[in-house]
Structure 1
């Protein structure tokens, strides 16, 4: 058994395949995800797991090159959550954010029920 880190087997396995430039999306439970996408569905009940719990777990394991969030989250809790955890995030209209889902290597659905609690993380390298 793993001693620490992400224990969810499908998510842990998917993370192991990531490389430089790959896109990982952490999504709230309301974001419409592609039917044929690489989805890891962690949602259990509304609010569980939370967006921040999943983001924190991912940030502990990934090298982040950049992040992207919806313009519509500005001034709210989601922007605060992002700014507490990431040194920089770019903003884009929510409709444009949704158009990027098809290019994600991993789509992670949380139980988060806060509007626009979604982030796209572009993977970097540690060297």
Structure 2
């Protein structure tokens, strides 16, 4: 029996198959899950009901499992960071990849974010029940 924090078989398999530079999308409940990533990307559905499973919970466990090199968020309607993104930034602030380097952050407006998520290096989408708007986060896997 696995005794690690991450137990979900599909997420474990997706992260194990992702190499340096691969990208993982943690998507909110409003994201177009069926068309918003390349066809070969794994899709893991954790969107049981509104609010469950929360995107922050997924991020916390993923960040504990792999090194995150960069995070790209969907900018809100004003071009800034939403409440969920500020939470993610706080959570990832304590995580480092490659020793002392901080996670690199950037934001994209909605249509540019969708385009970035459809790139061929996006290997997995984790659909959450997160209902707060602009709660999508695209993570680039790094190396220790």
Q: Which moved more, 1:72-81 or 1:13-22?
A: 72-81
What is the Cα deviation at residue 34 of structure 1? 3.7
The residue that corresponds to 1:28 in the other structure is: 28
1:93-122, Cα deviation, whole Å (9 max, x unpaired): 111111122231011100100101110000
CA RMSD between the two structures:
1.5
Gaps of 5+ in 2: 94-103
SS for the counterpart of 1:100 is helix
If the length of structure 2 is used for normalisation, what is the TM-score? 0.81
Are 2:57 and 1:53 aligned? yes
Verify the 8 A CA contact 1:34 1:101 in the aligned structure 2.
Answer: no
**What is the CA–CA distance in structure 2 between the aligned matches of 1:10 and 1:76, rounded to whole Å?**
28
The residue that corresponds to 2:67 in the other structure is: 63
What is the Cα deviation at residue 75 of structure 1? 4.7
Are 2:108 and 1:92 aligned? yes
**What is the CA–CA distance in structure 1 between the aligned matches of 2:107 and 2:118, rounded to whole Å?**
18
4+ aligned runs moved over 6 Å, structure 1:
none
**What is the CA–CA distance in structure 1 between the aligned matches of 2:109 and 2:82, rounded to whole Å?**
15
Verify the 8 A CA contact 2:75 2:82 in the aligned structure 1.
Answer: no
SS for the counterpart of 1:65 is strand
Gaps of 5+ in 1: none
Verify the 8 A CA contact 1:33 1:101 in the aligned structure 2.
Answer: no
Aligned residues: 126
Are 2:117 and 1:101 aligned? yes
If the length of structure 1 is used for normalisation, what is the TM-score? 0.91
Q: Which moved more, 1:4-13 or 1:20-29?
A: 4-13
